[in-house]
Structure 1
């Protein structure tokens, strides 16, 4: 066997490349571990990885990164092609190619579309901005569905010339909402994917991937445009095919995300399983069960971080609320909703505890459990007695539940629970 010299040092680049430094006859050389130098193919692959993947991949990102990015790439490609169809329809609608159209009329239409879109962006960010972190998957999928709706409206708009400007403005509002929801949830997912405080690098490489996909979509669009021009039937057929692919890829993308941070949905899933059989679901198991479609009407709303006036209506109820608790939060039931008031010195663990108790109360109000730890609570009819019993149940289960969360791989030093910012200081009454 050939003597290649003694290894005096070994270096690696993440887990992808390992190199040995060898000395033979006083000469030091560098070679890939396992023998052989770097081939042209491996050099090209290494360059492509460094261009399109975050530095230190795969150790520098979450385990679901590659699976999510592959589906995200597919949805971006199909969306790019649908966007081409919508853009052509919009241009035809404002009069491109028509002898009767004027530049001024087309400009006014486009300005109105952009203006209403800007207003929609501001309004949506005001109303729903705080929800985008806690329910990133749901809003990510919602944004892509709304984007497809907006593009369909743009394609159909030229067939309603009397309402073209109005329809285009509606599509502009929808797309502005897509921009806010899509961008914000993309940022939330980037925080999840970053494992070395490398959010900027992941975001930059995501932009490179998206640019490459859009470039591929542009090349395909150059082939499609001559085929769909003055052919509305083919335009709609291709749009529906691209939309089906887009929605399927988006669904698979959000389903592939495994977040280790608790939001209300994941906490509810894990807590109910724990109360049922004492088992703590892993992040992968809970994420697989997490719903990814928005619920516009919840059966028992849970309001976290409310004003004191939303929790109690008079001094007597305040006395009942204070008598029931020794915790850094108050909890009660008002108008069919479970309300939680936080103290000013509430810790993250207190927040998780309060959310657990609220989830239990919500489950009892929604339906009477057939068995398990919640069955006893369902027998209590008075709201404040029910709250008092829920404190006792939480006292029994919370500490072992929290320990189980840590052991199962959940992050308990921060949460994505949708807390409002109200904080209340109260004095204990005798």
Structure 2
């Protein structure tokens, strides 16, 4: 509401009364609770609540008191009145006499405490400023940091004991050198792993969970130093390398996750509050662990319990993230659902069905995008037979029975949409072959091919590829349209295609 401007010059008594009446009516609409107006040093009567229906009384109090209402203000639902003081009614207002009067009753101490806590742990404008998945993510993140902080106490105690701090057998210089070498090895591991940075974009969830598993592995190796203190340096170096690599993974995946939660230009606020929640939980876990460690609990049992809590919280934390982009895993979920049900899953469904344990370094994926020619074809006749089918396309799709995989080869003219179409076509062909093979009895497949663990090639592979071409022509546009309606962002860069391209001979 725009402030009400009052003329400081003298006005008639009737004009003042009209001005006060209108001011009070506006104040009555804004006020939600009666204000506790102060009295002056001259013992002037307090101002009546602006929402009182007796406006004539209020007019007289404003006109015959030492206060004059200037304007009203609202901030986040809380309202104030600004009044100015004068020596007596009818006299000019004093300089620098504006006072703010709250229209709210004082908050209870509990509400004040909760408001203070919220200012540190949730973004401004919460919950409207973030997506619904923010709360479950931060809950599991806090729990993970709680277990991580608790575990850090035991691992630090173990390392200090193993290096010889609590003994008289090690000199301070030797202890310092071992500790510096341990930290130095960790920094080297962090630098070497940083070259994998591009993978943090398209396999974000998988690498985030893998990093947390690596963090637990490093903590376990640190605890082993208690059993073999003479191997402190190599074990501590290996553990620190693992933990620093995990730290790189956590740092690299943090921004894309927080970006998915921010509804506006508030990613900095979301990041700051998220890190604050993690630090608070870490401190609580550390404090609890210090109290537990004084009772000398079983190191193995304590580590097992804390480690299980940490891994479970990490898994649930990653699963709760809802991303709008289609990487390999979510693209596969979306296409499979589209081929089986005719609809593209929603953002929530697609993210929940994504396989978090499908790590990027595993080579058993059934679809290879942007593969080399020698991996896709061993028989020249297989290539020559399907080449005319893809004459107008900027890619080729085939199936290699010896490896049990579908290969999508990209031509040198392939653009972003061609790569997406090739990936879609590869999943369609995989769907045809899987459906055909599942219709055959297992005994027949084993008799014909002798491999139960590999997907056998259909006797009419060329027919399957022809059918897939027809289906892709009619359904690819529908798939893209439905994916966009569900809120998915389709980008070829997150599919991580290989760099091989076919050139025209």
TM-score range, shorter chain: 0.7 to 0.9
- 1:239 is the counterpart of 2:287: no
Stretch moving more, 37-46 or 249-258:
37-46
Question: Corresponding residue for 1:215?
Answer: 283
> Does the 8 Å contact 2:419/2:492 carry over to 1?
no
TM superposition shift of 1:104: 3.1
Q: Structure 1 96/192 Cα, relative in aligned 2: closer, same or farther at 3 Å?
A: same
Tell me the alpha carbon deviations over residues 163-200 of structure 1, each in whole angstroms, 9 at most, x when there is no partner.
22222222122112211222222233123223324333
SS in 2 for 1:29: strand
Question: Corresponding residue for 2:341?
Answer: 277
Tell me the alpha carbon deviations over residues 369-401 of structure 1, each in whole angstroms, 9 at most, x when there is no partner.
558xxxxxx985466665454332211211111
SS in 2 for 1:56: coil
Q: Distance in 2 between matches of 1:317 and 1:196?
A: 52
- 1:5 is the counterpart of 2:25: yes
> Does the 8 Å contact 2:370/2:501 carry over to 1?
no
Stretch moving more, 53-62 or 305-314:
305-314
Q: Structure 1 83/59 Cα, relative in aligned 2: closer, same or farther at 3 Å?
A: same
Match of 2:249 among 165, 174, 181: 181
Q: Distance in 2 between matches of 1:223 and 1:76?
A: 17
Tell me the alpha carbon deviations over residues 186-220 of structure 1, each in whole angstroms, 9 at most, x when there is no partner.
23312322332433332222222222222323332
Alignment of 1:396-415 (within 5 A): 396-412=474-490
SS in 1 for 2:198: helix
Alignment of 1:133-144 (within 5 A): 133-144=201-212
Alignment of 1:53-64 (within 5 A): 53-64=122-133
TM superposition shift of 1:76: 0.3
Question: Corresponding residue for 2:327?
Answer: 263
Match of 2:72 among 29, 34, 37: 29
Question: Corresponding residue for 1:39?
Answer: 107
TM superposition shift of 1:344: 6.4
- 1:66 is the counterpart of 2:135: yes
Q: CA RMSD in A?
A: 3.6
Q: Distance in 2 between matches of 1:256 and 1:97?
A: 43
Alignment of 1:71-82 (within 5 A): 71-82=140-151
Tell me the alpha carbon deviations over residues 334-363 of structure 1, each in whole angstroms, 9 at most, x when there is no partner.
663444344566554433322211223344
Q: Structure 1 112/365 Cα, relative in aligned 2: closer, same or farther at 3 Å?
A: farther
> Does the 8 Å contact 1:68/1:254 carry over to 2?
yes
Q: Structure 1 33/53 Cα, relative in aligned 2: closer, same or farther at 3 Å?
A: closer
Bigger radius of gyration among the two? 2
Q: Distance in 1 between matches of 2:140 and 2:355?
A: 18
Q: Distance in 1 between matches of 2:177 and 2:385?
A: 61
Q: Distance in 2 between matches of 1:315 and 1:125?
A: 41
Question: Corresponding residue for 2:94?
Answer: none
Question: Corresponding residue for 1:17?
Answer: none
Match of 2:260 among 183, 189, 192: 192
Structure 2 length-normalised TM? 0.69
> Does the 8 Å contact 1:257/1:287 carry over to 2?
yes
Question: Corresponding residue for 1:109?
Answer: 178
> Does the 8 Å contact 2:432/2:468 carry over to 1?
no
> Does the 8 Å contact 1:53/1:202 carry over to 2?
yes
Q: Structure 1 110/331 Cα, relative in aligned 2: closer, same or farther at 3 Å?
A: farther
Match of 1:171 among 239, 249, 256: 239
Q: Structure 1 329/46 Cα, relative in aligned 2: closer, same or farther at 3 Å?
A: farther
Stretch moving more, 255-264 or 85-94:
255-264
SS in 1 for 2:368: strand
- In structure 2, runs of 5+ residues without a counterpart are 1-22, 31-49, 60-68, 80-102, 440-455
> Does the 8 Å contact 1:54/1:205 carry over to 2?
yes
Stretch moving more, 266-275 or 33-42:
33-42
> Does the 8 Å contact 2:145/2:279 carry over to 1?
no
Q: Distance in 1 between matches of 2:322 and 2:206?
A: 14
> Does the 8 Å contact 1:300/1:366 carry over to 2?
no
Q: Structure 1 354/256 Cα, relative in aligned 2: closer, same or farther at 3 Å?
A: same
Structure 1 length-normalised TM? 0.80
Question: Corresponding residue for 1:302?
Answer: 367
Q: Structure 1 293/4 Cα, relative in aligned 2: closer, same or farther at 3 Å?
A: farther
Question: Corresponding residue for 1:288?
Answer: 352
Q: Distance in 2 between matches of 1:410 and 1:292?
A: 19
Stretch moving more, 147-156 or 112-121:
112-121
Question: Corresponding residue for 2:38?
Answer: none
Q: Distance in 2 between matches of 1:414 and 1:195?
A: 24
> Does the 8 Å contact 1:139/1:294 carry over to 2?
no
Q: Distance in 2 between matches of 1:57 and 1:240?
A: 36
- In structure 1, runs of 5+ residues without a counterpart are 11-20, 372-377
Q: Structure 1 207/156 Cα, relative in aligned 2: closer, same or farther at 3 Å?
A: same
TM superposition shift of 1:122: 3.3
TM superposition shift of 1:240: 1.7
Match of 1:355 among 410, 418, 423: 423
